[in-house]
Amino acid sequence: MNEFVVTVNEKKKSVNILNDAELKIDNKKYNYEISHVNNNTYLLKCGNKYFEIVAEKVNNEHFSVLLNGYHINAVVRTSLQEMAIHLLEEAQTATHHQFVVKAPMPGMILKVKKQDGDAISQGESIIILEAMKMENDLRSPASGTITGIGVEEGKAVEKGAILFSIE
């Protein structure tokens, strides 16, 4: 089964070609016949209607179509291509992530190595926390910018206290 997404005037239609005589458009089944007239010209019978189609491929997915004398720009993609395009667009418009780093145990802040606004790399040392007479080097879980240091050197923190955040 051939599954496509056809976009005309920013409206998407799901087109499934079932066989040489049947297709579904947005899950509505139609009988069709298509005949090649010449070059880029076709005669399409869909249901009880006839359409003269002159189609010219502009690039891989864009077509310039003359349908019964009306000009249409159409984008034709497989369902898989459409899903990939959608995922890429989502990734590009996704909002930035914020990481909040909390104290893994109660202790004393010995050293704060970075300040608000500093650019950091994943794994970079940010804070030294003393707990149970041991120095614990707390490192950045991600690259980004420090947006909030919530502690000061020489101050005690409880487990779960917000130490810093990264955007």
Q: Does domain 99-166 have CATH number 2.40.50.100?
A: yes
Helix/strand/coil for 33: strand
Residue 75's nearest CA partner among 90, 54, 59 is 59
Taken as a whole, the chain contains a residue count of 167
- Return the domain boundaries, the chain: 2-93, 99-166
**CATH architecture for segment(s) 2-93:** 2-Layer Sandwich (3.30)
Specify the DSSP class assigned to residue 15.
E
Below-70 pLDDT ranges, the chain = 1, 91-96
Q: What percent of the chain has pLDDT over 70?
A: 95
Model pTM score: 0.53
Say whether 99-166 and 2-93 share the same fold: no
Task: Kindly tell me the burial class for residue 85, based on how many C-beta atoms sit within 10 Å of its own C-beta (0-12, 13-18, 19 or more).
Answer: middle
